[in-house]
Amino acid sequence: MNRQRQYLDAMGIQAWQLRASTGTDFKSVPDQPAPQRPDVSALNWDTLQVTVSQCRLCELHTSRTQTVFGVGNRNADWLVIGEAPGKDEDLQGEPFVGRAGQLLNAMLQAVGLKREQVYIANILKCRPPNNRDPKPAEVLCCEPYLQRQIELLQPRIILAVGRIAAQNLLKTETPIGKLRGTVHRYADSTIPVIATYHPAYLLRSPLEKRKAWADLQLALATVREAAS
């Protein structure tokens, strides 16, 4: 059956499936099309946030308490992007509010930035159950929202926090340890991207904080160089 389906797909012929019998008749129904991602390319901040709050594109909307759009200065030079909301973020509707959030605040303060001076967002706008890794389909559903946030913000630098954030932003499977220490560029733009370890990882592996400090120094130097 799978091989037959592959042949049909290769020939551009739509496959049909039988609906479960009701005891009276059988009817053929086509595969359900994937939800269409909305065009958000012209939305402003407020309209975009409302659109995100009403999103039903993937299964995560069934288990979320609320969406986590992002928080901070909408004119910020620094954009911090993490992976996805956790339990605390899902409850409060704000990214990085637990212990990892406290460490992120301290990291920012170490380079002279207050939390309210930057903008913070995530790859996903909804919490995956049990904090599992985002599925590729979920990332694709949320991608236009984050892209529009970046377009609206036009940050001078993006700090990609953690493996999943860095790999999705840079469209790569390279390990985070090899991504850090280098100035990357976001998509086809000139916006620099610096990858670093997630604060939650640093809480488990405090000896790696020295490397994260070096990443922050690189980000700071990159911003200063661009301004000079």
**Could you tell me which residues come within 8 angstroms of residue 46 by beta carbon, excluding any fewer than 6 positions away?**
none
Query: Rounded distance, CA 228 to CA 225, Å?
Result: 5
Could you give the domains of the chain?
45-227 (3.40.470.10)
Query: Rounded distance, CA 142 to CA 95, Å?
Result: 15
Query: Rounded distance, CA 208 to CA 224, Å?
Result: 25
**Tens digits of per-residue pLDDT, 93-133?**
999 999 999 999 999 999 999 999 999 999 999 999 999 99
Query: Rounded distance, CA 85 to CA 128, Å?
Result: 8
Query: Rounded distance, CA 62 to CA 174, Å?
Result: 32
Q: What is the pTM of this model?
A: 0.83
Query: Rounded distance, CA 8 to CA 29, Å?
Result: 16
What average pLDDT does this structure show over 160-167? 98
Cα torsion 55, 59, 62, 64: sign = negative
| Residue 16, strand partner residues | 30
**Tens digits of per-residue pLDDT, 6-52?**
433 544 444 444 444 344 343 444 444 556 778 999 999 999 999 99
**Tens digits of per-residue pLDDT, 169-225?**
999 999 999 999 999 999 999 999 999 999 999 999 999 999 999 999 999 999 999
pLDDT of residue 33: 53
**Tens digits of per-residue pLDDT, 62-102?**
999 999 999 999 999 999 999 999 999 999 999 999 999 99
Query: Rounded distance, CA 169 to CA 146, Å?
Result: 10
pLDDT band at 228 (very low <50, low <70, confident <90, very high): confident
Residue 178: both structure tokens together: 């090899």
N-terminal to C-terminal alpha carbon distance within the chain: 63
Dmax (CA) for the chain in angstroms is: 77
